Amino acid sequence: MRFLPDFSLAAFNTFGVAAQARRFALVANEHTLIEWCVANAGAEAPFLLGGGSNVLFTRDVEAPVLQLALLGRRVVFDEGGTVLVEAMAGERWHAFVEWTLGLGLSGLENLSLIPGCVGAAPVQNIGAYGVEMAERCAGVIAIDTTDGSVREFSPRECAFGYRDSIFKRGSAALPRDRYAITRVRFRLSRRFTPRLDYGDIRAELDARGVGTPTAQAVAEAVAAIRRRRLPDPAVQGNAGSFFKNPIVAADVAQALRERFGAMPQYPHGGDGREVKLSAAWLIEQVGWKGRGIHPDDAAAVSAQHALVLVNRGGATGGALWALAQAIQHDVAERFGVTLEPEPRIV
Ligand code: FAD
Ligand code: EPU
C-alpha cells in the first residue's frame, strides 16, 4: 500500500471543506490491506473512508486515512425466489442498486440515489423512503484492522438500528475503525413487493402515470423526489441530513403535541412506546432554515431543506460545526429536544 503524505481531503468529503490527511492510501486490494494490518498491529488505528458523504472534517486527520476502493459485485447464490448478491466496499451504492435492478432483483429500489459506497452502507444502516438496508442485508465481511483477520458479521451481530450499527456506535470493546468492511451481502427477491407508504412515492408514481409500478419505476420515482428535495453536493457541499430525527418516549411526544400542535410525529418501533419527530421541522421552527452564520454566511442551513447544512463556498468544517451547535442549542431551548448529529464529526 502506497501512502501519500499531507494529502488534501477536500475532494474526498462532500461538504468540500479543507482538511489534510497526514498519510493517505487508496486500498484497492484486500490482500494488501490484510498485509498492512498485520504489519501495523499494535500501532495506530487507521481512519476508514468511503465516499466522504457522511463525514465533517473540522481538523486534519493524524491517523493514516485508508480509502476503501475495493471493486466488484457478483451473484453468490441463486436460491430461486431470492438471490444472494455481494458487493465490494468501494462500489458506488447507487450503481450497485441499478445493477441489482438490471438483474430483475428487487429490494433496494427505495434506497436509490443515496451517495457514497457500499462499504459504508452498514455503518449507519442507510435508510430512505420506508426501507433500511438492514432489512435486505445478509451479512457483512470485514477485516480486523488490529490483526488482519477476516470476520463475517451476521445482520444480528451488526445490531442495526435507526442510522446506527456496532460499526458506528464506537465502544471500548469495539472502537470505530476497528473493522474495515470489505464486502456486503444482500438477499434480494425476484418477486417485487412494492413499499409505497412513505411520503410522496404514490403521488410521484401517479404524476408519472404509473398504475402498477415495477421496482425500476419505484427507483425512478424515489430518485426524482430526492433530486427535487435535497441539494446536490456537486453544486453545494453537504452531507445529507445533518441530524438524526429525534426519537422520544410516547408521553414526551404527547406533551409536545399539546404545546406545539402542528408538530409532525411518526410512530417508531412498532410497539407504540416511541415516536419519531422531524428534525427538519424543529430547525425550521427556530428560524434557521436558509440562514448562515457569521462572519460570511458560508456555513448555512439549506433554504431547500432545513435538515441539510450546506457549504455555500469556502466554509470551514469548524464553522459548519459551530452552526450545528447553535442549532442544537436553539432546538433544545425551545423544545427540550436533543438533536444528535448523523455524520461522523472529526
Ligand atoms: P463515508 O462518509 O466515507 O463514511 C461514513 C462512515 O462510515 C465513517 O464513519 C467511515 O469511517 C465509515 N466507513 C466508510 N467506509 C467504511 C468501510 N469500508 N468500513 C468501515 N467503515 C467505513 N444516508 C441515508 O442513510 N439515507 C439517505 O437518504 C441519505 N441521503 C443523503 C443525501 C445526500 C445528498 C448526502 C450527501 C448524503 C446522504 N446520506 C444518506 C448519507 C450518506 O450518503 C450515507 O451515510 C452513505 O452510506 C455514506 O457513504 P460514504 O461511502 O460516503 O461514507
Ligand atoms: N420538513 C420541514 N422543513 C423542511 C423539510 C422538511 O418542516 O425544510 C418536515 C416536513 O414535515 C416533512 C418532514 O420534515 O414532511 C420530513 O421530511 P423528509 O421527507 O424530507 O424527510 P427527513 O426526515 O427530513 C429522512 C432521512 C433522509 C431520507 C428521507 C426519506 C433522517 C435523518 N433523514 O429525512 O435521509 O432520505 O427521510 O426517507 O432520517 C440522510 O440520512 O442523510 C438522509 C437524507
Residue 243 in any domain: the answer is yes
Same domain, 177 and 86: yes
Please report how many Cα atoms fall inside a 13 Å half-sphere around the Cα of residue 164, on the Cβ side. Answer: 12
Pick the catalytic residue from 53, 241, 302, 344.
Answer: 241
Three-state DSSP class for 22?
strand
Confidence (pLDDT) at 261? 87
Closest CA to 49 of 22, 89, 16: 89
Same domain, 77 and 182: yes
Point out the residues of the chain with pLDDT beneath 50: none
Residue 342 annotated in active site: yes
For ligand 1, the distance from its centroid to the CA atom of residue 318, given in whole angstroms, is 20
Residue nearest to atom 29 of ligand 2 (CA): 128
Residue 257 in any domain: the answer is yes
What is the span of the domain harbouring residue 40? 4-68
Confidence (pLDDT) at 125? 98
Of the candidates 33, 68, 103, which is a domain's last residue? 68
Grid cell digits, residue 266? 411518526
Same domain, 32 and 105: no
Residue nearest to atom 9 of ligand 1 (CA): 344
Q: H-helix or E-strand containing 238?
A: strand 237-241
121 lines ligand 1 (CB under 6 A): yes
Report which ligand 2 atom has the smallest distance to the Cα of 129.
38
DSSP 45: P
Strand ranges of the sheet holding 274-277, from the earlier edge strand across to the other edge:
247-249, 274-277, 265-268
For ligand 1, the distance from its centroid to the CA atom of residue 123, given in whole angstroms, is 8
Residue 140 in any domain: the answer is yes
Rounded Cα–Cα distance for residues 221 and 286 (Å): 31
Residue 304 in any domain: the answer is yes
Is residue 87 within 8 A of residue 73, CB to CB? The reply is yes
Pick the catalytic residue from 23, 136, 163, 183.
Answer: 163
For ligand 1, the distance from its centroid to the CA atom of residue 124, given in whole angstroms, is 7
For ligand 2, the distance from its centroid to the CA atom of residue 36, given in whole angstroms, is 40
123 lines ligand 1 (CB under 6 A): yes
Rounded Cα–Cα distance for residues 186 and 188 (Å): 6
Confidence (pLDDT) at 109? 98
Same domain, 39 and 86: no
Task: Say how many domains are in the chain.
Answer: 3
What CATH number did the domain enclosing 272 receive? 3.90.78.10
Residue 341 in any domain: the answer is yes
pLDDT digits (tens, 9 = 90+) for 320-332: 999 999 999 999 9
Same domain, 108 and 182: yes
Quote helix, strand, coil % in the chain, to nearest 5: 30, 30, 45
Report which ligand 2 atom has the smallest distance to the Cα of 243.
32
What CATH number did the domain enclosing 33 receive? 3.30.43.10
Confidence (pLDDT) at 266? 94
Same domain, 59 and 85: no
Residue nearest to atom 16 of ligand 1 (CA): 120
Confidence (pLDDT) at 212? 94
Residue 252 in any domain: the answer is yes
Residue 163 annotated in active site: yes
Of the candidates 26, 46, 68, which is a domain's last residue? 68
Grid cell digits, residue 211? 398504475
pTM for this one? Answer: 0.97
Residue 227 in any domain: the answer is no
Closest CA to 21 of 68, 63, 51: 63
Residue 59 in any domain: the answer is yes
Confidence (pLDDT) at 170? 85
113 lines ligand 1 (CB under 6 A): no
